[in-house]
Structure 1
Amino acid sequence: MGKAVKQSYTVRPLTPSRWADVEDLFGPEKGANSGCWCMWPRLTAKDFQAMGRDKRKKAFKSCVTAGPVPGLLLYEKGQAIGWVAVSPRAEVIRFEKAKTSALEPGKDPETHYAITCFYVRTGHRKRGLMTDLAKAAVDYAKKKKATAIDVCPIETDKPLMWGEGFVGVVSVFRELGFEEVARRSLRRPLMRLSFKNK
């Protein structure tokens, strides 16, 4: 048998010119995971629940138009097959304020980045794309001169239920060198990779 060839991917920031690509990835009507349109980490629980799917889509499109970039798209053969939300903590209020993922006092949520969700196109799952997306998010945060990047993934000793893994999986981040800095929830440790920017 010949050697397996690792597929090469292209990663691009979600800018307004790529809106059609993320709309196709999420599904124009579906809106990714249960119609969230990746607004779940960007709104308080109350505001999120008050919005229907259509309003979340419009709100997300507004975020993309206004900037800063809310995340990255992973492309294979010209098609967007994966998404990772990565941005300064200041842009993701639910992540920033939640007990499980809140930033310690004295740290700047403008320069401290967060990975808040993943989405992979049906038919491309179970290929290890979360790792590729996480690496891309780390590289992006470094280029933006972030001081560190946080994630609050799920840890479990049994197979995940559908949709649970959108926040990331602990094992992926351990392999990338993230360290646990707090565990305020049994299954959701706060993990961090710090950068030494000069």
Structure 2
Amino acid sequence: MATITTERATIARWDDVQHSITGGGDGASCQCIWPVLRNKDWNSTTLDQRREMFRDEIEAGPPPGIVAYIDGEAAGWIRIGPRTRQTRLEYTRTIAAATSEPFDDETVWAVTCFVVRREHRGKGLNAALLEAAVDYARESGARIIEAYPVDTGGRRQHANEMFHGMLSTFHTAGFHQTGELKPGRPLVTLTL
């Protein structure tokens, strides 16, 4: 049986972060910068610029996410951090309409991205990543965590549509639906 471990993303783990996000899906091209840029700014960046922005963010700290390992190999990623550092959220109308939390509150954190390498999917990495993210948020003084997962309704979805995570993963971790962005896209929260 494989051993899953998790570590916070620091600059010393930069190669592991890159390995975890480049094994399938949009992670390689997104560089997990999508949540921190408004759409107009995102559209004006190149892959190299996004990679450099991501590296700078990790180097500056605090860690913007967690890396999961299977038997020591980087295999997955989750973005977790204060909503105030994930600019896109405030400018996403559906999120602004669904949340009851003020956007200037540093104690409101958000989970905005999961990436799991193709060869490691179906091994429980998203659950392990979310558990580590909740622990990190709690230890960092977060009051509440928001997320915007996909409710698959039991239907198979394309991997690129699943970067927000699955609703069932959040329910298992104790999150509750507190709003809806649109059909099939709930807003879920966990009070810490």
Fold shared, TM-score > 0.5 on shorter chain: yes
Q: Deviations over 1:64-100 (max 9, x none)?
A: 1112211001112221111100000111111233123
Contact 1:95 1:116 in 2 (8 A): no
Distance in 2 (CA, whole Å) between partners of 1:162 and 1:120 is 9
Report the 3-state secondary structure (helix = DSSP H, G, I; strand = E; otherwise coil) of the residue aligned with 2:162.
helix
Contact 2:20 2:67 in 1 (8 A): no
Deviation, structure 1 residue 108? 4.8
Distance in 2 (CA, whole Å) between partners of 1:143 and 1:151 is 18
Distance in 2 (CA, whole Å) between partners of 1:106 and 1:112 is 8
Contact 2:26 2:160 in 1 (8 A): no
Report the 3-state secondary structure (helix = DSSP H, G, I; strand = E; otherwise coil) of the residue aligned with 2:77.
strand
Contact 2:83 2:103 in 1 (8 A): no
Report the 3-state secondary structure (helix = DSSP H, G, I; strand = E; otherwise coil) of the residue aligned with 2:93.
coil
What residue number does 1:193 align with?
190
Percent identity at matched positions?
36
Higher RCO structure, 1 or 2 (CA under 8 Å, sep 6+): 2
* Aligned match for 2:125, one of 100, 104, 129: 129
User: Where do 1:13-162 residues align within 5 Å?
Assistant: 13-27=8-22, 32-33=26-27, 35-102=29-96, 103-104=99-100, 106=102, 108-157=104-153, 158-162=155-159
User: Which structure features the higher share of helix residues?
Assistant: 2
Deviation, structure 1 residue 25? 2.4
CA RMSD of aligned residues (A): 2.0
Contact 1:31 1:37 in 2 (8 A): no
Distance 1:156 1:31, change over 3 A: closer
Aligned residues: 189
TM-score, normalization by structure 2? 0.90
Q: Where do 5+ consecutive residues of structure 1 fail to align?
A: none
